[in-house]
A and B are shown apart, each in its own frame.
Chain A
């Protein structure tokens, strides 16, 4: 089943090549929806305390100990759901007149993302990881906005490829040149029993690969240009899903396979995450372009997840609260909440840009009067993003903060400065876009159309659902 959901978009891609161009959009949507439906069915039967489920395992390259090995457990269930929810939304968010090649690349990217979240063997996990990257590069370069897109695509590609190469070398070293298993689960078991001593350099190589994807300062430089230049649906995927690949990598690889190295460097990692949190927040304060502002806001939000990973490294002496569990659950929920919220915000930034032809914060004003429905949706998502209780982000941030405070109170106190700055830049953006007198050129800007509203309804519903009943979503990662 997992293979079916992973490769459904590839099937769609093949059909897009074969069938007439006017069907391309529907085929891409069909592939993505098929994946979503299968994921929904799987999660419906998912047993949170059942460990690894829906496993498919087959020998692939026995000489190298490489198996095709996929499965779902508490760590990847929710992120897979996030990816499969955002995939059809990304297709729907695409402008209608996009050519065949666009939908082809998009579908291939879906498979890369789904595969990276379900693979349990490094070998094909890495193939999927790269597979998500290459279409993104072409999508930015061929279909992006502005002259900057070539450079943005190039720097995106360079950063991620260099990170990937580092990670690949690390794993080659770890598997002793293919003599040992590449299997994540087997590696984790070995690490637990102490039979695996990867050493600091391997850890740093793998870490670098993941930090580029998340990203963490100073490996984040590709992010803002890429998010701003990419077509909006691709940005939705980049921030909503691809940044989560990095965080997921931390949970799947760093935490179980490198426990000692993580413990040794946990505080460094937390400081790095903290710097990223503040870095993103303070840079967002200075942006005049909505999409760049949202990009730095994402930098800030996703870094909270890595902050939590640092907590997992330190938390050995649990006091009154179960720090490990709080942090793990918080990270996973934060990925989900941020993915949904950020994708929705970028989508609306795209709508504004599409309508006005520009996306400077100062190019608008008084939009509450001109486009009231869009204003409501934007306010709700912005509030969700700044961590308003009863909306998606709050529960996750509380869990991460609670666990972090138990092990590193001082760093956590500094991190609240990030929450404050988030409020400042988001409210400033709201103020500039939606309040004040309405200038002439936006006075007759169309409000959300029915289609656009329909796309935002599931996003808003999820934001409320996760905020009001986080327990339902936390249940997936309960063990």
Chain B
């Protein structure tokens, strides 16, 4: 199959989205969406084989989107091992989640709309990973964002869901504005936004200009990283991701664990040459490291099964950033992204199955004893948990080891931070598993196992969570361009120690505790309250924003007052002219007044016209006398 067919990978889900948007029947919509996704997966696998064989970058131009003079924005796609792996991962995990959703959402009256949004999301995500043009990448990125907004707020009758959707959109858009500025910078500096273009692409010929006294590559990479921070929930823009758990659980698995949140990491890996040239990688690494640490700590204090996983995702995304920021290529970070996509999707879907089985209960304090009631889900979930902990020889172990090795080589402090994060990771995972699976059930209704449509995807994902790293890890790393590196004993020892030690510690703390009734020793209030990030933002940025709005409103009021005065003045002037000048002076005094006086004069004169001859004679005599007197007076 030629690379021309690459466009079908995002276009098929898009077609499914268009077809399903008007449907009423949820099952038919699910069938259409799943069918489209299966075809996409098939093509993506063929393309993966193609990319594996070819090894380099192949590009396809589909159409000119915008041509203005010499500037040209193309819809163009690219195939290389990175994009092929991402496309295959997104379609595969996506397909499993679509199948899971068809069971999970089957009773929802708006099920068809759900699949429409999911398909729209998949189209955007696949466009994002395959784009060869930075603007097309950004456009798909925004589509992904809006699909996420719609899916988080899918149950729109819940105010919390609607608010969470809005928060996700706005917080990521803060980062997106940075992304956009980065694109504008790249466009004005390089004159093109094509990533690869026979040696003239943005990533092949790195712009060397200077803006604001800083090198273009440095600035572009920094601004692009802003976008990555927003989308991948890195500090300080991580606050939207835990709230996004208000959406249906398959959404959390697809968007907020496996694919969309990884888009930021992917963006850094995609535009890696700019980061290398701009020497901004240490910043990426440290932002990632701090995020990983802080989010892992917060996860310790959460009781909502999905929120624990959400913070865990933020933390793991941070580790991916560390992997990107400390290595010479994007391979290590991307490797962790791939393994994480499988085991985190598994964990979320498992959590969904547990929530479903516990009658929509999400609080781990009211769970417990799930292992006996839901054996398949439990077994699958534990596979995911082990991978998350990086238990030796699971897929998470290989990828996290790669990150740790890379951090060890680049910056020892960062390595310690990551090791500590891994320890906390093992701790919170053990805490969650003990709460959920061990002991007796603390909820009101007895839990039950989920139907096969929910558990089958879990089992498949569990196999990948255990096996992917060991079986495909080395070839994946090699194809993504990783340099071969030493395995220092210290790193391996640390890795084993923190994983096993953390689990042991967690077991010691939680196994014999009367969970749900006594207080949790690690859920400190600072952790339970997420280090007060939301409150901090409300008090600073929120206040500033409100003050700014208030200022503009006040100025507007002031101007409106002045304007009002003008209008009043005009009205008053008008009325002055209308009443005083027009009515009084012109009408009453001049025009009407004269007329009235003439009229009056006429009336008086009428009085004389009596028709009596004697009266007239009298007046004639008087008149003659008056004339005589007057003439006499004149002549004298």
Contacts and interface: CB of A to CB of B under 8 A. Distances in A.
Query: A and B: real partners?
Result: yes
Interface of A: 151, 154-155, 158, 218, 221-222, 278-279, 282-283, 285-286, 319-322, 325-326, 329, 366, 368-369, 383, 388-390, 394-395, 398-399, 401-402, 405-406, 409-410, 412-413, 416-417, 419-420, 423-424, 427-428, 430-431, 434-438, 470-471, 474
Contacts of A413: 181
Given A283-B552, A431-B162, A436-B162, A405 B142 contact: no
A383 B146 contact: yes
B227 to A, nearest CB: 12
A321 B166 contact: no
A337 to B, nearest CB: 13
B624 interface: no
Chain B binding surface, main DSSP class: helix
B85 to A, nearest CB: 25
B570 A322 contact: no
Interface string B67-80: 11111000000000
Contacts of B169: 423, 427
Contact of B64 (A390, A395, A471): A471
Interface residues of B, number: 53
5 A-B pairs closest in CB distance: A389-B139, A435-B162, A320-B191, A322-B69, A405-B184
B139 A390 contact: yes
Given A401-B184, A402-B187, A435-B157, A325 B69 contact: yes
Given A428-B166, A435-B159, A321 B556 contact: no
Chain A binding surface, main DSSP class: helix
A37 B598 CA distance: 63
A282 B548 CA distance: 8
B34 interface: no
Contact of A279 (B64, B69, B143, B556): B556
Interface stretch (B172-180, B341-349, B388-396, B485-493): B172-180
Contacts of A394: 139
10 contacts: A279-B556, A283-B552, A321-B191, A369-B156, A389-B139, A389-B143, A419-B177, A420-B170, A436-B162, A471-B64
Contacts of A368: 156
B216 to A, nearest CB: 11
B497 interface: no
Interface string B549-560: 100110110011
Interface of B: 64-71, 135, 138-140, 142-143, 146, 149, 153, 156-157, 159, 161-163, 166, 169-170, 173-174, 177, 180-181, 184-185, 187-191, 211-212, 548-549, 552-553, 555-556, 559-560, 563, 566-567, 570-571
Given A154-B570, A388-B146, A406 B156 contact: no
A416 B177 contact: yes
B157 A436 contact: yes
B184 A321 contact: no
Given A437-B157, A474-B66, A431 B166 contact: yes
Given A158-B566, A405-B185, 8 more contacts: A282-B553, A369-B157, A389-B142, A390-B143, A402-B187, A409-B211, A436-B159, A437-B159
B146 A431 contact: no
A158 B177 contact: no
A435 B138 contact: no
A321 B159 contact: no
A179 to B, nearest CB: 34
A207 B66 CA distance: 32
B19 to A, nearest CB: 16
Nearest to A225: B560
Given A383-B146, A405-B184, A326 B71 contact: yes
Contact of A221 (B135, B177, B189, B560): B560
Contacts of A436: 156-157, 159, 162
A158 B570 contact: yes
B567 A326 contact: no
A427 B66 CA distance: 28
Nearest to A326: B68
